[in-house]
Every structure is written in C-alpha cells, then in structure tokens.
Amino acid sequence: MADFQGFLNLNKPQEWTSHDCVARVRRMLHLKRVGHAGTLDPAATGVLPIALGRATRLLQFLSSEKAYRGVIRFGITTATDDLEGETLQVRSASHLQLEHIAALLPEFIGKIEQKPPYYSAIHVGGKRLYERARRGEVVEVPTRTVEVFGLDVLSWRSGEFPEVELAIACGPGTYIRSIARDLGERLNTGGTLAGLVRLQSSGFSLANSLTIEELEDLVKREKFKPLDPSVALTHLQAIALGSEDAKRWCHGQRVPVAGNVDAVLRVDDQSGQFLGIGRIIQEQDTMVLAPQVVMLDS
C-alpha cells in the first residue's frame, strides 16, 4: 500500500459537503488520517485543501487567506442566504444599476462586523448553528469581526433579478453568503448568493487542483502523488539545520537558534528537505527551536 503523506488540492464538486470529500478520499486512498482546511458549503465549488497522513498535523499552520468568485442575485432573500434554502421574499429589483452596488462595496472592505448565516457550521451554545436552525430553534447569532481585503466587480447582468459577479479576497471566517445578504439589505432589495467558486485557499489555487474524477483516474493508474507538505507552508519563515542539529531535532530535542520568541518556522535540513514545524522558545538566556510537528521518522 502506498504511503501517502502530504496534501491534495481538490476541486470540490457542487452539492458535496467537505466531509463527503474527506470520506471519499479516505476510501479511495485506503487512508485513515485525512483532514481538510476551510469548510466549503455544499453549493460551492473550488479549492478544498486536503491533508493526508501525517500532514493532517500541519493544517493548523496553513495560511488563512482565501479568494472567491461569487455571484449575488438581488430581489430574493432566503433562509440560508443562498439558493439552497427556503425563499423568504421575492421582489423586483429591475431598477438597480451597477453604480448603486459599486458605491456600497467600500463598506464591506477592511475589518468589518459580520453576522454568520443562520444556517452555518459555527457553534452557538455548544451546538452547530445549522443543527439548531433545522430543529426550529430561535437563536441569536453573534456577530464577529472578519477581514475583507478586496471586492472587485467582474460582471453585471441587469433584469428583474439582477446579478453581480465579484472577486473577493478575504481572511478566515468570512461568509460570502453574509456579504450577499447584507449588500441586499443595504440596497433595500434583498440579496442572496447565487453561486460561489473558491479560487484560492491556504496557498492552493484552482488552476492546480484535481477533480474527484481526475484523482480517481490517477489512483487507478497508480500515478497519484501527494503534494509535498512544504508547498503549503511557503508563507512561513524557513530555517535550515545542520546534519547533527537536524538529527537531534527530529528526535524531539531542542536546538539553539537565533530569532524571536514564539516565532513559528518551517524547518528544513541543509539539502532543503522538509523536516517539520518548530517554534522558538526561550530557555533561561538561550533561544531554542522546539519541535511542534516532526514529519520524518526519528
């Protein structure tokens, strides 16, 4: 059996949950340890980073920035803030012009307060919000601070229920469905997310992703090779250890280094082979590199 340790850049199919994708990959590769970064709604498609084997321990260190292409439809509001949910209100928005929307977009850029959709995976009172919503519970959804780096108009379609397509760059925890809902509220027309593709996530891009069908074909032909774990960690500062320090570090020992306390580093050996993740801590008057995740067998 192949030893799969690394990452898979999966193009998530529509109507699949992120959990569905993990389960399918687990069965396909006959691998127990499989995890994903950045949940995607079932209606959305695009980049879903999947960690295989020991690389699941690296998920917490991945970059949190994401980029999307989303379509917002005006004149419609739904229970889920996308087209998957029950329609709550329908009204013509034929009077809307692109300049009305463009004038409001700056309000949604920067650090903003956002209320997640009522049907979302966040925990409220120890339970996922969508579970409580499906049981008909009325729960106050807490707002939270998220960061949107950019909102750019890609296309515009006028009509009774006009649509705008946006390129969205954002930080972790940002709900594009909430942007659609809140933009519709500001325009007094209502709005819902009509389509969403994640273009980038955790250092992976859609252009280099694999569909489920492509992955199945590669596995069947025994041609599938996971991406090296280091490709998802280029945002971290790297440190190269000499042979003796590398050996000690891989055995769980701390080695002296120069740097700032609490810095998280990508650790390589002198040949450039990825060893794992370390954190600089202070021991008495000395800075040392403590192992956080060791990828090589000791």
Q: Catalytic residue numbers?
A: 41
Q: Cα(94)–Cα(158) distance, rounded to whole angstroms?
A: 7
259, two tokens: 């740097």
Q: Cα(274)–Cα(228) distance, rounded to whole angstroms?
A: 9
